[in-house]
Structure 1
Amino acid sequence: MDSKQKPVTIMESYKAAQTVAGENSPEYKKSMLLFVAAFTAEGLAYLCFFPLLACLSDAKPLIGSAALWLCVMFVMVVLELYFRWRGHDFDFKGTIVDVAHRLRLNLGEKLKVMPQERLYSYKTGTLNNIFSVGVEYCVLSMGIVSSVIIQTVIPPVLLIVVTFFIEWRLAVAMLVLFCIAVPVQKWQRSGSSKGKKACGLALARVESDVLEYVQGLPVLRSANQTGERSASLQSALQNHRNVQTKVALEIVAPMVLMAGIVEIGLLAVLTMGVFLITKGSLTLSVAAALLVIISRFSEPLSLFSSLTQVFDIVDAALVRITELLSIKPLEVSSEPTVPGQFDIEFKQVSFAYAGQDQYALQDVSFFIPAGKLTALVGPSGSGKTTITKLIMRYADPRKGTVKIGGIDLRQIRQEDLMKNVSVVFQDVYLFDDTILNNIRMGNPDASDEQVRAAAQKAFCHEFIDRLPNGYNTVVGDIGGALSGGEKQRISIARAILKDAAIVMLDEPTAALDTQSEVAVQKAINTLVADKTVIVIAHRLSTIAGADNILVVENGTIAEQGTHTQLMTLQKRYASMWDAQQRTKQWNIAAA
């Protein structure tokens, strides 16, 4: 975190809250104006003590005038309660609940359209924190926190202004106290703001590591790396503890100083008042009124100081949410086009991931014909996955163009692009829902019969039918109730139901046993019929019959052609093929 980063100002918080309020922004503004009116009335009610006590302390008490000022005070109190109640309509009428609900929906929409490169830069724990407590803190700022800030500012300002007309020296003393408190509060705010941001980052890291720990617990148990031996989680917890300790020390000093300034300053003002009484410059009734009002003057300062940490937590949440909402989606032409053909072309494409100077792809050009099978082969880290990401418009290349059906991806809306692309990953992710709903994700409008037909084509209907609840069986977190082959076939059924023109396969059979691999391969054969297929392959024997093979190495296309053509060249592909064949022979000999 940038140590020079300034804490968010009240005006910045107000503007951020307006952004979060969205279409309810006018109601939010109205709420703030009502709070201003409420606490102005409150300040005026306290100021009535000056004429009220003056009437009562007269040698011959002016009962009628005192009664009048009591009525004025009563009216001010009633107005204060009325305006405050109406100000909280934003809370009581459920508007703030609607804002929170719509904010989560807007954040969800943002995740759908933001560049995947930016999306993957967020840790899961950070996003979880933003969607849960972050939203709650944001809507909190629109009601309770905003009213507290207004209550802290308006009554003291009114008091100082009116006191100038009664005894300017006391007003100057209170103004000096107020001016001294402001920089101390800024100091406290600065330390608290940076501390809360640091705590937020540390907590997000803990949440991410806890999530990863829980998901990977079977692996950690098998490696005996649970509890204190889980290095990553323990490091995150220790870091969070260290940050909390440091922040606590940074916050305590200015908080104690602020309390001391308020108490000593007010005592000094009262001492000056007593001195002025003894000199005859101040009447006892005015001093008594000041005593009552100054005690009210101290409350907002103390309250504001003690709530500084709350404000900073709210501001940190506002900043994170507004930053997320401000991320712009990848630009699309003002006249978007839907591809009619599904060949794929890379033309002099160079790409580097965000924050990296080294190119993952360098001047890559190739053409994938529609309806053909193209394989990507090469060592890990060579750029194979980056090619598939760019086809899905993970990000735009720094140089060159990626086209589908002769149309630059920048001219295709993301939803139109993804309608025509299906992906079967090596690591299948299934949601903690029924098998029926997991398959239906490929086409939300599909009927139960269509889902079952897709499952039959993917050769998974038989094992689903044997389950106690059939298609209504809940697969568990990340599909934990199913085997790897079963999960893979369900993901293929999902892709079959989607029926996209382009299919990308990321070595879907690499981690399967022989029996599961045969079943999955049959399902894949059904899936890819008459499709444009790109497959990432490590076992070259599985793609020997491909229409075209691209050998990717160090971010470039080292060679391309059919299996026979590449073997004839006797270059990189032939070397990889021979190495894998020798490995098979070694395994047979060992057996």
Structure 2
Amino acid sequence: MIGAHLKKTYAMTDHGVKNVMMGTLTTTITNLVIMAGMSLVYLLMQGFIAHLTQGESLPAPTQFLIALVVFALALFVAQLFAYTYTYGVVYEESGAQRIHLAERLRKLPLSFFGHRDLADLTETIMGDVAIMEHAYSHVLGQLFGALIASAVVAVGLAFYNFELMVAALWSIPIALGILFGLRKLLAPAQNRARAMKVAAAEEIQETIDCIREIRATNQGARYMKALSQTIDTSEREGFALEVISGIVVTSAMIILRLSLPTTILVALSLIAEGKIDFMVLFGFLLVVSRIYAPFDQCLMLITELFASRSSAARMLAIQEEPLAGGALSFTPQNHDVCFEHVSFSYGETGSGIADSQMLERSTQLEPAGASVAAAGQQVLKDISFTAKEGEVTALVGPSGSGKSTCARLAARFWDPEDGRVLVGGVDIAQVDPEVLLGHYAVVFQDVVLFDDTVMGNIRLGRRDATDEEVRAAAAAANCDEFVERLPEGYDTFIGENGSKLSGGERQRISIARALLKDAPIVLLDEATASLDVESETKVQEALSCLLANKTVIVIAHRMRTVADADHVVVLDGGRVLEEGSPCELRAQGGLFARMVELQRESATWTL
């Protein structure tokens, strides 16, 4: 019961709950051992008093030394186990939480990322887990251990004198009651501070990402002023949280310390009445001097425990998001990709996110040049067409017509709201995305590369490929030409997102990756749109090797790119407007023919 509550409240794994319980147990034992050590001081003082008042002999030094050694050994062992279970194993738990969250994010549908900020997700994985880590290691075990140890000591003190026990321990429940009673006052300040921290991180990231555009448009002063204001607001919110937390915690600590004078006052009253002697007072003062020590650190960090509940709620929200699951086996009859009455929109209106924000975030999931409708607006409306195996099917149309959305639905980056997408007669909504994508090779206009070697980036297409297979794929994609110029050839690190390479070189690495994968379905989304003529020619040569005998879906704005396509699907306003071969569509004189004519005319434009 307690374990389930901890797991739910603090987003723990089963192993983490076990560790916190062990940390509580070992901390309780440590506190009790320390309290037992106070009994040595009490016995020593009692012996001296008896020697001075009654002439009894002093305690044997050997006995006292043996007791001291036993106490030191017991304390060392207890502290060792307490440190292990309150600090050492906590870092394993926080590592497991980050890995679990990352795995969860990897398996979530892309629709989830359409309404979540990258900075917010990063803060959850790094910042919130760090807060939980501190709560596990510095608060939970110590707080629960201090409470249990105090309860045990309270029972023991009650046997000596109930009135003194109440005088010595009354402040503990009052102080904790104030803290937990006022935590609702802290929650809004904590949420505001975190929100401003995320906002500052977003603006910093945006400024770095857009630094070239900011400089090119001479907007540096304006951006820095806005960024400075956001950071100042974040600092003010953080300061306000610290002030509120400090007032609440300091008030609780003051109340906690009031037990010392009440213990003295009550004890002196009882001594005056002859109910107790000085040694009872001395013993209670020893207990009071030590029983509050475990609470000191807990009270200083108790606000982190309150903040950790909000952090845990955000972590649990990710863990409870439904995954894009499905069957782990996929055996289609062929690799025809068939859209049957498919409708789709990015998000729902009224979800609490402004349409402009949804538009911006959804656009980040699309390639450059793609247009995404605002939240709640249908992008595709009753789309039906088939891309046949062994043929090149081109999707063309104005910006915002739904071309890129079709490509992403074909690979199950999203699921349609209505209708079905079939591959070889199998509804891909019933297939696990990772299993499904094993049958796809995707080449986008915006290539994503890692700060790894050329060899490592190409090998992403198939992790078990040999070096010879990687080099063969690279040669087929015309990568040899530029790789030979690199300092260490295929073992050269190419920088963040291939920053050391040109656009055409990065594109060829992407195609080599797809060639190495050799998947039966190929998605090309404006793969050559941003290349110069020479690079485009070389990339097209590489694509010729990739596309042979595959199901190919090509998205292009350049009509000459789709001139040799087997089948063209013309989209406009989220609907299929025309279908047929390029020759048939030109003869019809519709939208396709008009687009061809407009591009032919623009080819003659000069400065």
Pairwise TM-score range, normalised by the shorter structure: 0.7 to 0.9
Aligned-pair CA distance for 1:131: 4.8
Q: 2:504 aligned with 1:485, yes or no? A: yes
Aligned to 1:446: 465
SS, match of residue 252 in structure 2: helix
Aligned to 1:345: 338
Cα distance in 1, alignment partners of residues 25 and 463 from structure 2: 46
State the TM-score, normalized to the length of structure 1.
0.85
Aligned to 2:242: 248
SS, match of residue 433 in structure 1: coil
Q: In the TM superposition, what whole-angstrom CA distance separates every residue of 1:496-552 from its partner, at most 9, and x where no partner exists?
A: 111111111111222222222222222222221211111222223322332222233
The more displaced of 470-479 and 58-67 is 58-67
Cα distance in 2, alignment partners of residues 231 and 551 from structure 1: 46
SS, match of residue 386 in structure 2: strand
Aligned to 1:277: 271
The more displaced of 175-184 and 319-328 is 319-328
Question: Aligned to 2:404, which of 385, 388, 391?
Answer: 385
State the TM-score, normalized to the length of structure 2.
0.83
On the 8 A contact 1:460/1:490 being kept in 2, the answer is yes
Cα distance in 1, alignment partners of residues 9 and 485 from structure 2: 54
On the 8 A contact 1:55/1:66 being kept in 2, the answer is no
Aligned-pair CA distance for 1:411: 3.2
SS, match of residue 88 in structure 1: helix
SS, match of residue 456 in structure 2: helix
Question: Aligned to 2:474, which of 455, 468, 473?
Answer: 455
On the 8 A contact 1:435/1:472 being kept in 2, the answer is yes
Aligned to 1:172: 166
Letter in 2 for 1:291: L
Q: 2:531 aligned with 1:512, yes or no? A: yes
Cα distance in 2, alignment partners of residues 12 and 453 from structure 1: 56
SS, match of residue 287 in structure 2: helix
Instruction: State the number of aligned residues.
Output: 577
Cα distance in 2, alignment partners of residues 79 and 15 from structure 1: 35
SS, match of residue 509 in structure 1: coil
Aligned-pair CA distance for 1:482: 1.2
Letter in 2 for 1:242: R
Aligned to 2:78: 83
The more displaced of 26-35 and 365-374 is 26-35
Cα distance in 1, alignment partners of residues 160 and 567 from structure 2: 92
Task: Quickly say closer, same or farther: Cα 1:338–1:98, change in 2 above 3 A.
Answer: farther
Question: Aligned to 2:521, which of 502, 524, 540?
Answer: 502
Task: Quickly say closer, same or farther: Cα 1:65–1:384, change in 2 above 3 A.
Answer: farther
The more displaced of 454-463 and 178-187 is 178-187
Q: 2:523 aligned with 1:530, yes or no? A: no
The more displaced of 499-508 and 216-225 is 216-225
Question: Aligned to 2:30, which of 29, 38, 48?
Answer: 38
Question: Which sections of structure 2, spanning at least 5 residues, go unmatched?
Answer: 352-374
RMSD, matched Cα = 3.6
Task: Quickly say closer, same or farther: Cα 1:43–1:195, change in 2 above 3 A.
Answer: farther
Cα distance in 1, alignment partners of residues 569 and 226 from structure 2: 38
On the 8 A contact 1:31/1:90 being kept in 2, the answer is yes
Aligned to 1:560: 579
SS, match of residue 381 in structure 1: coil
Question: Which sections of structure 1, spanning at least 5 residues, go unmatched?
Answer: 1-8
SS, match of residue 276 in structure 1: helix
Aligned-pair CA distance for 1:128: 4.1
On the 8 A contact 1:43/1:158 being kept in 2, the answer is no
Letter in 2 for 1:349: V
Q: In the TM superposition, what whole-angstrom CA distance separates every residue of 1:69-117 from its partner, at most 9, and x where no partner exists?
A: 998898666544423322434478x655555555444444333322233
Task: Quickly say closer, same or farther: Cα 1:10–1:242, change in 2 above 3 A.
Answer: farther
Cα distance in 1, alignment partners of residues 235 and 241 from structure 2: 10
On the 8 A contact 1:188/1:255 being kept in 2, the answer is no
Task: Quickly say closer, same or farther: Cα 1:399–1:283, change in 2 above 3 A.
Answer: farther
Cα distance in 2, alignment partners of residues 69 and 468 from structure 1: 74
On the 8 A contact 2:175/2:253 being kept in 1, the answer is no
Task: Quickly say closer, same or farther: Cα 1:423–1:337, change in 2 above 3 A.
Answer: closer
Q: In the TM superposition, what whole-angstrom CA distance separates every residue of 1:335-378 from its partner, at most 9, and x where no partner exists?
A: 73333411112222233334443333333222221122222223
Aligned to 2:216: 222
Cα distance in 1, alignment partners of residues 39 and 148 from structure 2: 13
Trace 1:143-542 onto structure 2 (pairs within 5 A). Answer: 143-174=137-168, 176-187=170-181, 189-226=183-220, 229-230=223-224, 233-234=227-228, 236-312=230-306, 315=309, 317-333=311-327, 336-354=329-347, 355=351, 356-542=375-561
The more displaced of 394-403 and 55-64 is 55-64
The more displaced of 415-424 and 168-177 is 168-177
Percent identity of equivalent pairs: 29
On the 8 A contact 2:11/2:315 being kept in 1, the answer is no
SS, match of residue 171 in structure 2: helix
Task: Quickly say closer, same or farther: Cα 1:338–1:414, change in 2 above 3 A.
Answer: farther
The more displaced of 375-384 and 187-196 is 187-196
Q: In the TM superposition, what whole-angstrom CA distance separates every residue of 1:49-68 from its partner, at most 9, and x where no partner exists?
A: 77776676565387799999
Task: Quickly say closer, same or farther: Cα 1:208–1:527, change in 2 above 3 A.
Answer: farther
Q: In the TM superposition, what whole-angstrom CA distance separates every residue of 1:384-414 from its partner, at most 9, and x where no partner exists?
A: 2222222222232233222111111133232
SS, match of residue 366 in structure 1: strand
Q: In the TM superposition, what whole-angstrom CA distance separates every residue of 1:550-577 from its partner, at most 9, and x where no partner exists?
A: 2333333333333343344444444444
The more displaced of 444-453 and 321-330 is 321-330
Letter in 2 for 1:336: S
Letter in 2 for 1:186: F
